[in-house]
Chains A and B, each alone.
Chain A
Amino acid sequence: MSGWSEKVLEIDLGTQTYKTYPLNMEMARLFIGGRGLGARLLWELVGPEVDPLSPENVLIFTNGPLTGTGYQTSNRFSVTTKSPLTGTVLDANSGGFWGMQFKKTGYDVMIVRGKSEKPVWIEIKNGAIAFHDASELWGMRVFALTEKLGQDNNRRNVLCIGPAGENLSRMAAIMNDRERALARGGPGAVMGSKNLKAIVVEGRERPVIEDTDRFKFMLYETRKLLAASPLTSQALPEFGTAVLMNIMNNVGALATRNHQQTQFEGAESISGEELAEKYLVKNSACWACPIGCTRISKTEKVEGEGPEFESAWAFGAQCGIDDLPAIIEANTLCNDLGLDTISVGSTIACAMELSEKGYLDSDLRFGRADMLAPAIEATAHRRDIGADLADGSLRLAAKYHHPELSMSAKGMEMPAYDPRGLQGQGLLYATSNRGGCHMRGNMIGLEVLGLPKLVDRFQVQGKSAFVILSQNSNAAIDSLVICKFTNMGVGDEYFARVLSAVTGVQYATTEMIKVGERVWNLERLYNNREGFTAKDDTLPPRLLNEAPVDGPSQGWVSNLAPMLKEYYRTRGWDENGVPTRKKLVELGLADLA
């Protein structure tokens, strides 16, 4: 079958052996690749008895049938594991070049099991798989290690962890191609727990495309669609994602000082406009991406990728800091240490509030830009206060007897959008299968930007249908796996045509959304099996009970309860948030019930 390589590589770090076997192609047809295929495999491999940081947890790296074909943004790949931050199913995906190179090694899936006795790094090169001693690399930071192991964007690509992963920070990212991140939920800690420092890939195999003429025409059409969209041809290349800072602040939905306010007086100073005017060196792009949203920024101290909107917000508004150079440097430091910027920024903000209220003895205070870098270093190395910060805001706040001050859902720190001014976004956070996350679905387009049309952001009734569609759509795109920004110029239904041309399997236009729904329900089943219930579909008490006292969202709290009730019903779940047998049969998941 074209598109897929039809091969799985399974590595056992304990014995430093590997085996290969055919991919279950019925499973591939149903779950495609990336996030969907990863979730299906995790269901079989990791049960509720497994501690996320034990050798029994696995890392499942997946690409998809479009990966490496040259289709626009077909550079992405996923890692799936049980999250050490949340205990839920976790997938994170990343762009850059590594995913394309991984596909060229001839595998759709790489499962990493067990734990190496000593630090090790793996090299997959032209069909050969080698285990190398990483004792001398242990402790190295990401940028230096990536260079040392021979990163060469189109030929040889490095994926690794930094000190944060080695020290089992539950906010540790896996980094690839120097500054791209599988960031959220702590996959870097899982890699660190296995004593696995890096995976380097070099490949020569090219994906087989079933209908090359049709595929070439779709490349041409997609190029035209992306060029015609003002979002993908102008907005993202010109200002990157950080351009959202001012509009979110304008509408009163920019979480500020650990969500104590919904507007930040320093927003303009940390905006995409300010970044472009004073600190932007140039744009950059992932492999096969014509959009090029990546910013290369420079201060007196650092030059590197980013910061993305959420990173600038996390170290900025959320910490009450309007010093953009300090934010850029904090972002670069996180990349070099291998940390998730959203969780780290929000955890520092949580510590700032705990400290200001006298619950935690530390010098952290809102607005203290000088504290960012030391706090991040301490977190990565579990030194001093970093020993507490490294486990994320919920464990930190619980330790100091105020878990309500963690701005997280299911233990994952939420991004910038304050749910009190965006009712649908709140429902998204509460129901996200990996915790507080804007990547499992996104309502900002509908509730603020009018993409594709504007929906009243304070409306509650009927919101669940929009949320569910967004969640299913994102799950499908994550399973292809391509960049969601492509979807801003190209409709969901078009991807089914591309997938059909590449694989030869005929996917109807409605089938993509069905795949997304299947993946979402499977992830829900996984979390239920782990012990999560409807009680976990919630938000911090502050967002449910404390209304902003000023600004455009004044007087509003997240009106979650009626939205949740409607959501379960619209999903075809029972009142306890459990998928019904009828729904599972409809989705081809009956054997998992």
Chain B
Amino acid sequence: MPTVKLFASLRKFAGTKELSIIGATVGGVLLELTRQNPLLGTAILDGGNLRPHVVITLNGRNVIDLNDSVNEQDVIAIFPPIAGGQGE
């Protein structure tokens, strides 16, 4: 099963940093993830769509299309809205 890594505030919603979730596409994994954990679902989805500024990567590359297929060894990382990098 693909591995899902969670970061920042998402960890407290899921109670873990990492899970294995079944799914054939990034979107499919997300649906199963949020079905298993509705609280996490409210943090990253709004009416079935990704909340603004939520970042998802597949093996370190930003996901543009949730229909991208995934396989057993893939790693999906999910970040809630985060910011920074402008401290002087």
Given the contacts A552-B59, A552-B61, A450 and B53 also touching, CB distance less than 8 Å: yes
B26 within 8 A of A: no
Q: How many residues of B contact A (CB 8 A)?
A: 26
Q: Determine whether the beta carbon of B83 is less than 8 Å from that of A238.
A: no
Contact among A438, A552, A553 for B86, CB-based, below 8 A: A438
A252 and B58 alpha carbons, distance in the complex (Å): 12
Q: Determine whether the beta carbon of B60 is less than 8 Å from that of A484.
A: no
Cβ contacts B44-80/A at 8 Å (1 or 0 each): 0000000111010101111010000000000001011
**Could you tell me the distance in whole angstroms from the C-beta of A129 to the nearest C-beta in chain B?**
27
Cβ contacts A177-208/B at 8 Å (1 or 0 each): 00001111000000000000000000000000
Contact among B53, B57, B62, B77 for A231, CB-based, below 8 A: B53
Q: Determine whether the beta carbon of A241 is less than 8 Å from that of B88.
A: no
Residues of B within 8 A of A551 (CB): 60
Given the contacts A449-B55, A449-B82, A234 and B9 also touching, CB distance less than 8 Å: yes
* Residue in B9, B52, B77, B86 with the greatest tally of chain A CB atoms within 10 Å: B86
Q: Determine whether the beta carbon of B83 is less than 8 Å from that of A485.
A: yes
**Could you tell me the distance in whole angstroms from the C-beta of A188 to the nearest C-beta in chain B?**
14
Q: Determine whether the beta carbon of A309 is less than 8 Å from that of B87.
A: yes
Contact among A93, A231, A272, A416 for B81, CB-based, below 8 A: A231
Contact among A243, A293, A451 for B8, CB-based, below 8 A: A243
Residues of B within 8 A of A449 (CB): 53, 55, 82-83
Give the residues from 226 to 271 in chain A that come closer than 8 angstroms, CB to CB, to chain B.
Answer: 230-232, 234-236, 238-244, 246-247, 250-252
Contact among B52, B82, B84, B88 for A92, CB-based, below 8 A: B88
Q: Determine whether the beta carbon of A239 is less than 8 Å from that of B8.
A: yes
A310 within 8 A of B: yes
Q: Determine whether the beta carbon of A451 is less than 8 Å from that of B53.
A: yes
Q: Determine whether the beta carbon of B81 is less than 8 Å from that of A308.
A: no
A308 and B64 alpha carbons, distance in the complex (Å): 30
Q: Determine whether the beta carbon of A239 is less than 8 Å from that of B88.
A: no
Give the residue name and chain of the B residue nearest to A272 (CB): B8
A438 and B86 alpha carbons, distance in the complex (Å): 7
Give the residues from 290 to 311 in chain A that come closer than 8 angstroms, CB to CB, to chain B.
Answer: 293, 308-310
A449 and B55 alpha carbons, distance in the complex (Å): 6
A454 within 8 A of B: yes
Residues of A within 8 A of B8 (CB): 235, 238-239, 243, 246, 272-273
Q: Determine whether the beta carbon of B85 is less than 8 Å from that of A241.
A: yes
A309 and B87 alpha carbons, distance in the complex (Å): 8
Residues of B within 8 A of A181 (CB): 88
Give the residues from 310 to 361 in chain A that come closer than 8 angstroms, CB to CB, to chain B.
Answer: 310
Residues of A within 8 A of B52 (CB): 230
Give the residue name and chain of the B residue nearest to A246 (CB): B7
A-B contact count (CB 8 A): 115
A417 within 8 A of B: yes
A449 and B84 alpha carbons, distance in the complex (Å): 10
A387 within 8 A of B: no
Given the contacts A273-B8, A450-B62, A439 and B57 also touching, CB distance less than 8 Å: no
A8 and B39 alpha carbons, distance in the complex (Å): 57
Q: Determine whether the beta carbon of A310 is less than 8 Å from that of B64.
A: no
Give the residue name and chain of the B residue nearest to A93 (CB): B88
Given the contacts A246-B7, A250-B77, A236 and B62 also touching, CB distance less than 8 Å: no
Given the contacts A238-B9, A273-B8, A250 and B85 also touching, CB distance less than 8 Å: no
Residues of B within 8 A of A308 (CB): 84, 87
Given the contacts A230-B81, A457-B62, A247 and B86 also touching, CB distance less than 8 Å: no
A241 and B88 alpha carbons, distance in the complex (Å): 11
A551 and B83 alpha carbons, distance in the complex (Å): 23
* Residue in B77, B80, B84, B86 with the greatest tally of chain A CB atoms within 10 Å: B84
Q: Determine whether the beta carbon of B80 is less than 8 Å from that of A247.
A: no
Give the residue name and chain of the A residue nearest to B54 (CB): A450
Q: Determine whether the beta carbon of A251 is less than 8 Å from that of B87.
A: no
A442 within 8 A of B: yes
**Could you tell me the distance in whole angstroms from the C-beta of B26 to the nearest C-beta in chain A?**
15
Q: Determine whether the beta carbon of B60 is less than 8 Å from that of A250.
A: yes
Contact among B60, B64, B79, B84 for A236, CB-based, below 8 A: B84
Give the residue name and chain of the A residue nearest to B5 (CB): A250
Cβ contacts A416-445/B at 8 Å (1 or 0 each): 110000000000000000000011001011
Q: Determine whether the beta carbon of B87 is less than 8 Å from that of A247.
A: no
Residues of B within 8 A of A93 (CB): 88
Residues of A within 8 A of B64 (CB): 454
Q: Determine whether the beta carbon of B85 is less than 8 Å from that of A444.
A: yes
Cβ contacts A65-98/B at 8 Å (1 or 0 each): 0000000000000000000000000001111000
**Could you tell me the distance in whole angstroms from the C-beta of A100 to the nearest C-beta in chain B?**
16
Residues of B within 8 A of A415 (CB): 85
A137 within 8 A of B: no
Residues of A within 8 A of B59 (CB): 552
Give the residue name and chain of the B residue nearest to A294 (CB): B87
Q: What are 15 A-B contacts defined by CB distance under 8 Å?
A: A93-B88, A234-B80, A236-B83, A240-B84, A243-B8, A243-B82, A244-B82, A250-B79, A251-B57, A251-B61, A438-B85, A448-B62, A552-B57, A552-B59, A552-B61
Q: Give 6 new A-B contacts, CB below 8 A, not counting A95-B88, A231-B53, A250-B79.
A: A181-B88, A235-B8, A241-B83, A242-B84, A442-B85, A457-B62
